[in-house]
Amino acid sequence: RATREDSTAAESLGLNVIRLRWVAWIISGFLMGIGGAVWAQYNLAFGPNQFYFTMTTTLLGMLVIGGLSSVSGAVIGAAILSLVTEAMRHVETSTGVGGLTQIAMAIVLLAVLYWRPDGLMGNREVGGAWLSTTMKRLGHGHRGAVVRRHADAEVGAGEVES
């Protein structure tokens, strides 16, 4: 991440930026090769006609919706777009109207790009710090303490009860 955000700062810390970028490129190519091998094993054979435009836009939409800078965002984007796609597929089969899946996917994608241009997660990852701040927002204090929000509670407003 340091070589992407500020390569000059990474070089000043003694990192070989060119070597790190090559290593990242090789590792990502290796992982994509494994993904292709698994895909071929699952389908027994594949060709270019299997990777059609709708599948490509769906995969890119998953990344854009979740956030391009985080793995957690990619997973969340994939889950959201998969749920929307499957829900709209059921609507398409029950109504007999085709193309609703692509319309819903475009609406979700445009809404995320309008209100959250960096994706839903941005560059944040789901982890300990993210979970603790989310729990604090939901009203739970540190180590399971409950934060009272009402002034008429036994404890004063905003005080923590253990």
CA atoms of 86 and 125, how far apart (whole Å) = 26
What one-letter code names the amino acid at 86? E
Q: In terms of pTM, does the model score above 0.75?
A: no
- Give pLDDT tens digits for 53-80: 777 888 888 888 888 878 888 888 889 8
Short-list 55, 72, 74, CA closest to 64 = 74
Helix 71-95 to helix 100-115 angle (10° resolution) is 150
pLDDT tens string, the chain, 162 residues long: the values are: 666 677 788 778 788 888 888 998 899 999 989 988 888 888 887 777 777 777 788 888 888 888 887 888 888 888 988 998 888 888 888 888 888 888 888 898 899 889 988 888 877 777 766 666 766 776 655 554 444 444 444 444 444 444
* CA-angle at 91, arms to 88 and 92, nearest 5°: 90
> CA distances (Å), 104 to each of 68, 98, 119, in order?
21, 12, 17
